[in-house]
Amino acid sequence: MASSAWSERILQLLRRMNDFYLPGSSRASCLRFEIDQVQVGWVPPRVASLLTRYPSVFSPPSGGAVSLCPSLDSCERRSEAVDAVLQTLRQEGSLSCLKGWRDEKYSVMPKFSDPPLMWMERAATSLFGVKRYGVHINGYTVSDSGEVSMWLARRSLTKQTYPGLLDNLAAGGLAACAGVKHTLVKECQEEACIPAAIAEKAHPVTTISYTYEEEDEVFAECQFVFDLELPLEFKPTIGDGEVQDFYLLPMDKVKELLATDDFKPNCALVVLDFLIRHSFIDPDTEPYYQEFMAGLHQTLE
C-alpha cells in the first residue's frame, strides 16, 4: 500500500475511534450522567427515556443530565439499585449490548484516581458512556542484529466482540478493585501462557484514550499500555481459548496490516502508538504525524 494511502487509512481509523467528538455525532443530544452532582458519563436519548421508568433509581432528566436519586447515598446502594434496573432491561431484551452480560463489575468514577462512586456490569457501561479502563501489552523481540518484530494474537472465533481479528499479545479490561499490574500479569498468563516472572518485566509506557459511538452506545475508553520485550527463544502459547493463534511479524508487515480491516480497532491504536514511540513513524516523513498523536490521546472535557 502506497504511503499516502496508508496514512489516509490510519487517519480514517482514528476518526472512527473518536467520532463522538465529530460534528453530527450524538453528543449534542446525549445527557450527562451524574452521580452526586459529578459527571461520570453520557446517556444516549433512547437509554435516557428507558430510565424514566425507574424513578426510585434515576431522577427525571433535568438541565441536560440524568442523575441517580440522592437517596442512593453509598457505592453499595447505587450499585445494587442500578444493577436491578439493568437486570430488568436485560430480561426485556431491547438493548442488544446486555445480551453480552459478563458478570464482571467495572468501577464508575470521575477520574481514574478517584474512589468509585458505584460499580456497573461491564456490558452495560456503554449505555451510560462511563469511562472504561483496560490494559494492553505490546510483546516484541529484538534480534541480535537489532531487528524488531512484534507478537500479535488472533482472537478466537467464539469471542463476543471482534471474533477472528488481530489483537495485541495480551489485553483485558480493568475490573473493579483490580490493579493495573495485577491485570497485566493475569492476562499474560491466561491468554498467552507468559510466566509472571517474564510478564512483570513489562514497562508502562503510555495511556491511549478515545471515545466512539455505535447506535445507542457511547464507548469512552482509556487503555494502559505496556511494552514487553520477550526473549528470542520464548513463544507464547494459547491459554484460556480467547486466542486462536500467535504470530511473530517484522514491523513493516505489522505496519502494513494496521491499515487493513484485519485488526481490532483499539488494538490497532496501541500498535500505532508503538510504531511512533519506537521511531518506525517519523514526523519528517509522515504528513499526519500530529493528527496521529492527537487522535491517540483524546479525552472528554
What sign results for the dihedral spanned by CA atoms 55, 106, 301, 273? negative
pLDDT in tens, 163-208: 999 999 999 999 988 999 999 999 999 999 999 999 999 999 999 9
* Per-residue pLDDT at 5 exceeds 60: yes
Q: Domain 26-130's class?
A: alpha beta
* Global confidence as pTM: 0.94
pLDDT at 154 over 90: yes
Assign 45 to helix, strand or coil.
helix
| pLDDT tens per residue across span 85-138 | 999 999 998 899 999 899 999 999 999 999 999 999 999 999 999 999 999 999
Element (H, E) at 119: strand 118-121
CA distance to 14, 17, 42, 147, per residue, from 212 (Å) = 10, 5, 12, 35
Which one, of 135, 123, 131, lies nearest residue 300 by Cα? 131
For the chain, domain boundaries: 3-21+132-295, 26-130
| pLDDT for 294 beyond 90 | yes
Q: 3-21+132-295 in CATH: which number?
A: 3.90.79.10
Give the three cell numbers for residue 217: 452506545
Using DSSP bridges, classify how beta strands 148-155 and 166-167 pair: parallel, antiparallel or unpaired. Answer: antiparallel
